[in-house]
A = this chain, B = another copy of it.
Amino acid sequence: MGPGRLHALVDGVFAIAITLLVLDLPRPVDSAHLTHDLLHEWPTYVAYLVSFVTVGIVWIEHHGMMSAVREVNRRFLERTLLFLLFVSIIPWPTSIAAGYANHGSQARPAAILYATTMLLMGLSFSLSWHYLAEHPSLVAAPARAAFPAGFRRALVGGLVYLVAIAVALVSPPASFAIDALIALYFAASKSEVPGLIQRAARAEAPPPT
């Protein structure tokens, strides 16, 4: 089976997850101090931005991985659905984090919930890399060598949220700061894996869209 329709489902879920985040932005009703009321909700904007950037980076990385995939089977589809479960759920911990980041002792469970969701998204993403590394026949031949490194990169990108979970026990604000730093790190990172995969994929015929 070609990967075409899987792209459509994945891109749909990412597009909707990104866009549903906006439903949680503050909409004060009949406010007499709109500017103040909107600025007061600054944790919501920060949470929105961190989630948007994280989901965006993960989409880019997934896009890079899939550009070398030439065939999918049922086991791979199941792993992708597990990954999409955690992508589609992200507006929920984002909403909780935005509502409780400034909420005294309740910031702790909010920070843990947020980082745990990201941990599970990262681990489920690394499962896809791992499956492709173990089943190279699904991947364009020149790109196969890059998949073990891609798996390690995704695994580290998930496990690093264990740090955010541990820090949340001591300082929820520091935990949220780590979530933001992880997004920025991956946005700026110069890993050779995506480049390797794309150059390899380009060496072949153009990938099926």
Instruction: Indicate if the CB atoms of A27 and B99 lie closer than 8 Å.
Output: yes
- A207 to B, closest residue via Cβ: B2
Tell me whether chain A's interface is mostly helix, strand or loop, or mixed.
helix
Instruction: Indicate if the CB atoms of A15 and B18 lie closer than 8 Å.
Output: no
CA distance A154 to B33 in the complex (A): 34
CA distance A67 to B21 in the complex (A): 29
A71-88 at interface with B (beta carbon < 8 Å): 73-74, 77-78, 81, 84-85, 88
Q: A9-B59, A109-B38 are in contact. Are A19 and B21 (CB under 8 A)?
A: no
- A46 to chain B: closest CB distance in Å? 14
A131 at the interface (CB under 8 A from B): no
- A20 to B, closest residue via Cβ: B19
A163 at the interface (CB under 8 A from B): no
Q: Give the size of the chain A interface in residues (CB under 8 angstroms).
A: 68
Residues of B within 8 A of A96 (CB): 27, 34, 38
Instruction: Indicate if the CB atoms of A110 and B1 lie closer than 8 Å.
Output: no
Q: A5-B209, A60-B81, A110-B34 are in contact. Are A92 and B27 (CB under 8 A)?
A: yes
Instruction: Indicate if the CB atoms of A109 and B9 lie closer than 8 Å.
Output: no
Instruction: Indicate if the CB atoms of B113 and A38 lie closer than 8 Å.
Output: yes
Residues of B within 8 A of A64 (CB): 1, 74
